[in-house]
Amino acid sequence: MTAFADLMAFQRETEALGQIAGRLGWDQETMMPEGAAEQRGEEMAAIEGVLHSRRTDPRVGEWLAAAQAPDAGGQRALDLIARAYGRNACLPARLASEIARVTSIAQGTWAEARARDDVAHFLPTLEKVVALKREAGQALAAGGYGGGDVYDALLDDYEPGATGDGIAAIFGRMRPRLVALREALLGARHAPEPLAHSFGKDGQMALARELATAFGYDWNRGRLDLAVHPFSSGSGNDARITTRVAETDPFNCFYSTIHEVGHACYELGIDQAYLLTPLGAGVSMGVHESQSRIYENQLGRSRAFTGWLYERMRETFGDFGLRDADSFYRTVNRVQPGFIRTEADEVHYNLHIMMRFDLERQLMSGALAVADLEEAWNTRFHADFGVRVDRPSHGVLQDVHWSVGLFGYFPTYALGNVYAGCLNKALRAAVPDLDEGLARGDASPATGWLRENLQRHGGLYAPAEVVERACGFAPDEGPLLDYLDAKFRALYGI
């Protein structure tokens, strides 16, 4: 047991340092002064160097060889440490630190370019990020990860066991039904009304906090701030969320908040016995996204919950032009081919992800040059959505992910939707009176079921396994597509 105990103590310190690195990233996106960007890049590189040194410390290999797990949870922790140790050993310390330094600076460069709609300002930095991540993918593939495929080796970091070809097959099965549904909805005789009023920042933020509370966010272990791109950060007993405000589009603020609360509640709901261990975080980004998407969509955009939200918005903002809760429900779920992924309706959202997935696979393989990325994006977007991109901030500059090196991350959003569809089916069967609580602004019956059946396990089970355990059946895209068809065909009367 000495080797196991020594390894767990060492790992606990490594996990704590990782949380500190995450807090630096949170600060950079919320509070850091602009002039600190270069210095923050050096700080991030320094702490990544320390983390990489610990993650590849030869003693970890020795402990792994000698350790005997006391139980199944301990064995799973050893397996996860061994996996991370093997992956990190493939990456030279120089490369790990350089990725941290360049992506920290790139994030600020991207924000500047996005604000100015200036692609040229960002592309040289993105070129460096792509080269570094391709080098990392090649090193991992050479080490046997991702089956020797560069993109799959990177994808495996976010969704262990997934492959690009496997995801492409899922997307290939989803696309025909999504496109057929979209065409039917856009051709419907009557479309929901859009919002046409202004909603003050203070009112939006006050209601955003109320929404977070309704979905069970623990304010004693979290906080809400503003960011250019909403995100959730941290785990254990410190899981923070951000949102953004557009005075003509309060749904951007409200549903970004609910989405990020889903991420944070996953982390906060993990068994405290797993704190600062390999089991003490969400098992994959796909499973993580399943929580944010089911909170945001199947629960937050349901007829029951939007009825409550309608009344709260009237109390906060007064009459805003929609005559009743049914009209409001239709407006919340209005289907239209917009530019922005994070604002996309449930029907279009996965089409946004499919486009990004294809483009980033091409970037990593070298089939698409960074210099040609904007043209490729705009051409594909017009083909998929029938609308021409009007400016870069509505196109290739809208997402932060590539600037910070998250290649392989995008497809996990759609996988999360697939998992959420399965979880929603199981949840509705297990809690038949769910809508009664949602109509009162009380999501606790749903969030309690999710915490008990999925969230508390953290990294104890593999991604598909934890979803199957919660649902009672293996995950596939069918429940999501059935849910979308039933909801939107009824909503549009087709």
Residue 373 in tokens: 């990325």
Residue pair 200/247 in contact by the 8 Å Cβ criterion: yes
What residues contact residue 351 under an 8 Å CB cut-off, 6+ apart?
Answer: 175, 178, 179, 182, 384, 385
Residue 101 burial class via C-beta count within 10 angstroms: exposed 0-12, middle 13-18, buried 19 and up = buried
C-alpha–C-alpha distance, residues 449 and 426, integer Å: 10
Looking at residue 219, the DSSP 8-state letter turns out to be G
Residue closest to 482 by CA, chosen among 326, 346, 306, 351: 346
C-alpha–C-alpha distance, residues 145 and 153, integer Å: 5
Looking at residue 31, the DSSP 8-state letter turns out to be T
Question: Which of 260, 289, 360, 477 is an active site residue?
Answer: 260
C-alpha–C-alpha distance, residues 81 and 77, integer Å: 6
Cβ neighbours, 10 Å, residue 341: 18
Residue pair 188/489 in contact by the 8 Å Cβ criterion: no
Residue 80 in tokens: 């996860």
Does residue 260 carry a catalytic annotation? yes
C-alpha–C-alpha distance, residues 9 and 368, integer Å: 45
C-alpha–C-alpha distance, residues 204 and 198, integer Å: 11
C-alpha–C-alpha distance, residues 321 and 308, integer Å: 17
CA 205, 332, 192: angle at the middle one, nearest 5? 140
- Catalytically active residues are 260
